[in-house]
Amino acid sequence: MAQVNGGERRGIIMTEETKSVVSVPDYLAFITKVMRENEEFLHENAKEAYNEVVELVNDAIDLAKQGVKEKSNYAKFSMDFFIYHILMPYSYAIYVDLLAGNLPVCFMQLRLMLESLAKCCLADSRYADQPFFQQRIELLEKKRLSTSKLMEDLGKELRVGNDFKSLWHQLSQDWVHTRGIADGVVNYVVQNSDVPPWALLIPMSYRASDLGTINKLQEQIVKFRDLLAVITATAV
């Protein structure tokens, strides 16, 4: 619970590590400490997963640079909007949340990125005559097609089968819907006789039992980056 006294923001927070009440500045120090510990854990135990998240950020940077170099009509293309305002901030957010141990949010952010990638690509291809990216996206939304259907259509157009649809369903069922989160917690408890850290408090230090979920995140980021590469090879 936080309170304001004399214009200064102060507060008290209970941390899992200390089992005691600490001030907000102390809690910020605790956050930094846990994130540094988690970074070390990832380097030692999940280097490939850590690198995949970093490469996702690099993809965003490279595409943003490419867009600035090649295009002057920023407001026209939905894919430009996606790169600058979804891919860039959310890829950085995944990196930060990975270090904080906030794995469910990493998957949720990846799902939003995938959905936005698909919709922005389709908006540009189907409504290329519209001069403003927002109009293109609005026209696509007015068709009232399900996200699953859009994913299926895009997969066919790009000749990647059900890759978009499959990844979107995995992310949705496991990490966005209440049942998926509940199943994830229960399965973790059954397998490890413990509650997953991300279901208790954020930030939380990683344990060896978290490697399965971390590796799953790596696997799905790899799939997302592959699909991003397919689209940007022709659309950007």
Q: Is the peptide bond before 203 cis (omega within 30 degrees of 0)?
A: yes
- Does some domain include residue 159? yes
> Could you tell me the two tokens for 26?
């102390």
Q: Is 7 exposed, middle or buried (0-12, 13-18, 19+ CB in 10 A)?
A: exposed
Q: What is the mean pLDDT of residues 102-118?
A: 96
Give Cα separations from 106 to 20, 28, 53, 98, 144 (angstroms).
Answer: 28, 21, 10, 7, 27
The domain in which residue 46 lies consists of 37-235
Q: What is the mean pLDDT of residues 40-60?
A: 98
Q: What is the mean pLDDT of residues 205-226?
A: 95
- Does some domain include residue 2? no
Confidence of residue 177 (pLDDT cuts 50, 70, 90): low
- Does some domain include residue 7? no
- Does some domain include residue 24? no
Give Cα separations from 7 to 3, 4, 10, 144 (angstroms).
Answer: 10, 6, 9, 49
Confidence of residue 151 (pLDDT cuts 50, 70, 90): very high
Q: What is the mean pLDDT of residues 62-81?
A: 80
- Does some domain include residue 151? yes
- Does some domain include residue 3? no
**Could you tell me which residues come within 8 angstroms of residue 28 by beta carbon, excluding any fewer than 6 positions away?**
none
Residue with tokens 């407001």: 75
Is it the case that residue 26 has pLDDT exceeding 60? yes
pLDDT number for residue 2 = 37
Confidence of residue 28 (pLDDT cuts 50, 70, 90): confident
- Does some domain include residue 1? no
- Does some domain include residue 180? yes
Q: What are phi and psi of 11, to 5 degrees?
A: -170, 175
| Least reliable range by pLDDT among 112-121, 135-144, 192-201 | 192-201
Mean pLDDT (the chain) is 86
Confidence of residue 22 (pLDDT cuts 50, 70, 90): low
Number of domains within the chain = 1
